[in-house]
């Protein structure tokens, strides 16, 4: 019983901590995920453009736009990795019969 209460207390404390990433951290994350997608041959052509636009927006001081573009780049890069996983599992379904 005591272990459960302590565990819930720790979860409650950790859950209340809020951390926001800077645009530069988001851009770095997007770039890292994009590189993983490129390694497996599933990089989407729009992801690197979004990253470049996010970098430019941050350089220009438009951090809100930089965050938005970097977040979209992260989403696209993650989806390209999901596409790679799907293709690896279902490749036989795309073979001609």
Degrees to nearest 5, angle at CA 27 with 58 and 84: 150
- 5 has a pLDDT exceeding 70: no
Average pLDDT, whole number, for the chain? 84
Given a cut of 60, whether residue 14 has pLDDT beyond it is no
In this predicted model, what pLDDT tens digit does every residue of 30-75 receive, in sequence order?
A: 999 999 999 999 999 999 999 999 999 999 999 999 999 999 999 9
pTM value is 0.74
């Amino acid at each position: 019983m005591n272990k459960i209460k302590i565990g819930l207390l720790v979860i409650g404390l950790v859950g209340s901590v809020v951390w926001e990433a800077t645009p530069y951290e988001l851009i770095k994350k997007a770039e890292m995920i994009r590189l993983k997608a490129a390694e497996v041959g599933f990089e989407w052509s729009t992801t690197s453009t979004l990253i470049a636009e996010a970098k430019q927006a941050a350089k220009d001081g438009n951090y809100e736009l930089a965050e938005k573009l970097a977040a979209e780049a992260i989403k696209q890069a993650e989806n390209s990795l999901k596409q790679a996983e799907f293709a690896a599992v279902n490749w036989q379904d795309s073979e001609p019969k």
